[in-house]
Amino acid sequence: MTEPIIILDKAGIYQKLSMILSNVDLKVYPGEFVYLIGKVGSGKTSLLKTLYAELPLNEGDGWIAGYSLKNIKKSETPFLRRKIGMVFQDFQLLSDRSVYDNLMFVLGATGWKDKRLMKNRINDVLDRVGLKYKDDKMPHQLSGGEQQRVVIARALLNDPDIILADEPTGNLDPETSEDLMQLLLSISKNGRAVIMATHDYGMIRKFPGRTLRCEKSSLTMVEPGRNYFDFDKVMGF
């Protein structure tokens, strides 16, 4: 049986000294697509930051991609993050560099040395996200959807086991959002675990999946098969 790639066991999620989520139990398996929903400030981003080891896990236990979140050493954090691809709502691309140079910067920062292998990897991920011929463009020359595809390409550079996406469709129109969803789902079907924090519950209707809700300091599962007439209430909006 496949082992979970993410485990949280009675975990407490904190922002500094403030507890955001308590007693969190979570298992996510390779190839699984999980939605994370809840109101602003309910703990979605804090949970993702804890999984990324940006916020410490001081209460309970947690493991991700073979690393203990509770006992991880500072020197181990870069190696963990090579196994995790992050997708942000606000892109966070370097505005003064081309698409190619944005991706080259990340490879250099994560230990790649061979220029030929780096070039091949960049070409591979850009082809994967449908931007094979946009490598020389500057970020401002791309649409919002294209910029988000660059962000996904960046997340795939080190062939991660896990993708953590924080409101990736938040700034995109519905058609572009659907294209991005199809891309993220295809990544999941290729064996990567994907956790996507979102307010776009129209996409959850269109692409159903396991849905977890952050509410009142707890992480709970939204029951599948809910009637859409009370969907807004169920989703916490």
**With bands split at pLDDT 50, 70 and 90, how would you rate the model's confidence at 2?**
confident
Average pLDDT over residues 169-196: 90
Alpha carbons 10 and 98: distance in angstroms, whole number: 44
Please give the structure tokens belonging to residue 33.
């697509």
Q: Where are the domains of the chain?
A: 6-235
**With bands split at pLDDT 50, 70 and 90, how would you rate the model's confidence at 229?**
very low
How many Å separate Cα 100 from the centre of its chain? 22
What residues does 86 pair with on adjacent strands?
164
| Amino acid identity, position 125 | V
Alpha carbons 37 and 231: distance in angstroms, whole number: 12
Average pLDDT over residues 144-161: 91
**With bands split at pLDDT 50, 70 and 90, how would you rate the model's confidence at 176?**
confident
Average pLDDT over residues 200-224: 90
Does the pLDDT value for residue 25 go beyond 60? yes
Average pLDDT over residues 158-174: 90
Closest by CA position to 188, among listed 162, 169, 206: 162
> What is the predicted pLDDT for the residue at 227?
44
* 78-130 per-position pLDDT tens digit: 889 889 998 877 778 999 999 999 999 999 988 889 999 999 999 999 999 99
**With bands split at pLDDT 50, 70 and 90, how would you rate the model's confidence at 1?**
low
> What is the predicted pLDDT for the residue at 233?
54
Write the class of the CATH domain 6-235. alpha beta
| Amino acid identity, position 30 | P
Cite the beta strand spans of the chain per DSSP E.
6-15, 18-28, 33-37, 59-64, 67-68, 84-88, 162-166, 193-197, 210-215, 218-221
Mean pLDDT (the chain) is 90
Q: Enter the pTM of the model.
A: 0.89
> What is the predicted pLDDT for the residue at 186?
93
Whether the CB-CB separation of 201 and 37 falls below 8 Å is answered with: yes
User: Strand, coil or helix: what is 137?
Assistant: coil
Alpha carbons 82 and 55: distance in angstroms, whole number: 17
> What is the predicted pLDDT for the residue at 226?
54
* 28-85 per-position pLDDT tens digit: 999 999 999 999 889 999 999 999 999 999 999 999 999 999 999 999 998 898 899 9
Does the pLDDT value for residue 231 go beyond 60? no
Does the pLDDT value for residue 225 go beyond 90? no
